[in-house]
Amino acid sequence: MSGTSCGALAGLFVLDLSAILAGPTVGRIFADLGARVVKVERPGPGDPVRSMGRSVGGGEGAWWAFVGRNKETVSLDLEDSAERAHLMRMVCRADVLVESFRPGTMARWGLDYEALAAVNPRLVVLRISGFGAGGPRENWLGFGTLAEAFSGFAAMNGDSDGPRLPPTGLADSIAGLQGTVAVLAALHERQRSGRGQLVEVNLYEPLLSVLGGHVVRDAAREEDPGVSASSHVRGLFATADGDWIALSAHSAATGSAIAGLLGLAGSEGLDRGAVHDPDDVHRRLVAWIGGKSRDDALTHLLAAGIPAVPVLTPGQLSHDPHVIARESLPAVTQGTDAVRMPGIAMDFSRSEHTIRHIGKPQDDDREHVMAEFAPDHSSEVPG
């Protein structure tokens, strides 16, 4: 990528005290975009995400390789006053601190927002919790699985066999994205006020935003509306050669194109892409697509102007020509191995971003970080 040698967020210093996926996702995005991010973990086992997924690059789990990339790593025992002093010296010069401890833990250590802001008034603190403050569940332990169930997502994602969870950390990932936006907003506000602030994001409310109109539609109902159905033509369809394709038609033009493809009379039964009898159209599509190979069905659908793609497995993605052309799964060198992982997923015309390394071993940067933030270097507080 051409342009400057610095990422868009270069110059920002982030302390990532969080664990698992939501908070570390915030740290990963900041690190990907050029901020300096120091991951602070407890000694011993460290962040549990290190053991999630198969080992890659001759090291730890695949999830740590991903969410830990581009970060420095330091282990601190925050139960110990001397170790907390090390952290506070870093806090003095930090722009952002991300934490996801159980409510009350930071206060017990003397690291609540008021204490942190006292030594660095410009600090933005992001607190991620399971259920948020102010309700009867504020002190409950929260994990992504619980948020996916509590938010209504699992019920809506289910079928006649019952609710269904997503196959990946959806709630954590979305909360991480929401947390990133919240921190950037607080940093922007700091340019006007000169002051940081406490920002709180929980795991279930960002999922409510994703469900959006479904929640608006159903919130006033006392009864269970059941599994969500759509009056538009969309879905997954098996092909004759054992593959699958997905199509989505949400406009009058694409609805009419499907009607023509299936031999229906004009756009009869279609209204702005909506279908008065979606079950009948779905049955016709199942039969039509099921009689063709994947490539043949896609050729006809795309030629008719109907949005459709092949359904790919994660393993197939690395061989797809579009993914290859876009470098969506770059290979990151780790020793003698090359680890493929999702890219940074945003393009800038001038700012340059790269994946410099996968998640490092625990405490890998302790020596130089501790030297940098030794007591005789700790007097500078951002003004």
Q: Which residues are catalytic?
A: 172
Cβ partners under 8 Å of residue 85, min gap 6: none
Distance in angstroms (rounded) separating the CA atoms of residues 107 and 86 = 17
Give alpha helix (H) positions in the chain.
22-32, 62-67, 81-91, 105-108, 113-119, 144-150, 153-157, 170-193, 205-211, 213-218, 252-261, 278-290, 294-303, 314-317, 321-326, 366-372
Name the DSSP letter for residue 48: G
Quick one: tokens of 250?
A: 């949400």
d(CA 53, CA 116): 35
Note whether 65 and 358 are within 8 A (CB): yes
Q: How far is CA 327 from CA 173, 330, 341, 346, in A?
A: 22, 6, 10, 12
Chain position carrying tokens 């290859």: 324
Alpha-carbon span 15 to 49, nearest angstrom:
17
Q: Phi and psi dihedrals of 201, rounded to 5?
A: -135, 135
**Per 3-state DSSP, what percentage of the chain is helix, strand, and coil (rounded to 5)?**
40, 15, 45
Q: Which residues contact 255 (CB under 8 A, 6 or more apart)?
A: 232, 233, 249, 267, 270, 272, 273, 274, 275
Residues 104 and 133: their CA atoms lie apart, in Å, by 11
**Token representation of residue 195:** 């002051």
The 8-class DSSP code of residue 377 comes to: G
